[in-house]
Amino acid sequence: MTTRSRLAIVVMAAFLIQTSFIGVARASEFDPDPDWKISAYLWATGLSGEIGIGPIVADVDLSFSDLLSALDIGGSAIARRDWGANMLVGDLSYFALSPDDAPGPLGTTVSSNLKMPLLSAYYGRKWGTESQYGGLLVGARYMKMDLTLKVKGLPGDNVITKSDSPDFTDFLLGGMYSRQLSDRWNMMLQGDVGVGGSNNSWNLQFIFQRKTKSGNMWDIGARIMHIDFDDKLPNGELFAIDAEMGGLMLGFTWD
């Protein structure tokens, strides 16, 4: 586990503890009538870390200025149902990244292409009021990684290609905090840690929402996700990823 991952998990644990204190300290006051929200987001998502299949490993490190050049497509569709202090959320996300070629052994280069659908579902319990509340989240996230690596620059212009698409499911524990900043503005912070199928994973997102006259909302924020996963493939080679995906989010919520 990297130092950055340890720090993120410590921050997440502190966030969960603080959220719990909010729940203990405040009485719950929520509208008992069911309420649906549907959100759609575009991601400007970059990739930083190591990805590999067998002996071929790509060390990808994209700065913020590289994110848009590395982005093929990224987005999320989220459905949320609130009733009283309870909430159910389903999150379907997808991105496809083709970072710049990374240096390989003996003067070669390694190109990579990663496509990943993610499906998350969780239950949340809120404490506080409609204008300010904290909440605890429990659920699961399914991920499938379709990775292709190519080693170029070999003698005779030969190219070695490796590809595979393992999947796994993590169980999630997380927290959230929402606060109404004014009649038109709201902010939301949400995070979770996952274990089970991966060695470890974590996810953080921060969103500002601006209400329209119709009651719907424009959303802008950022999201970062870390995945540390390895698995032995049927041919005996090791599939491994230890990387962060993150960047800006822009979306719209129908309420």
Per residue of the chain (255 residues), what is the pLDDT tens digit?
Answer: 555 555 555 555 555 555 555 544 454 678 888 999 999 998 877 778 888 888 888 787 655 445 445 445 688 999 999 999 999 999 999 988 777 677 776 677 887 888 899 999 999 999 888 888 988 999 999 999 998 888 887 776 777 788 889 999 999 999 999 999 999 999 999 999 999 999 989 999 999 999 999 989 999 999 889 999 999 888 888 999 998 888 888 999 998
Measured distance CA(173)–CA(16) in Å, rounded: 9
What pLDDT, on a 0 to 100 scale, did the predictor assign at position 25? 46
3-state DSSP assignment of residue 233: coil
List the chain domain ranges.
Answer: 3-254
What pLDDT, on a 0 to 100 scale, did the predictor assign at position 106? 66
Convert 115-130 to b/e letters by CB count within 10 Å (16 or more is b). bbebebebebebbbee
Backbone angles phi, psi at 34, to 5 degrees: -60, 145
CATH class of the 3-254 domain in this structure: mainly beta
What pLDDT, on a 0 to 100 scale, did the predictor assign at position 245? 83
Q: Which two tokens stand for residue 4?
A: 């950055």
Measured distance CA(142)–CA(120) in Å, rounded: 6
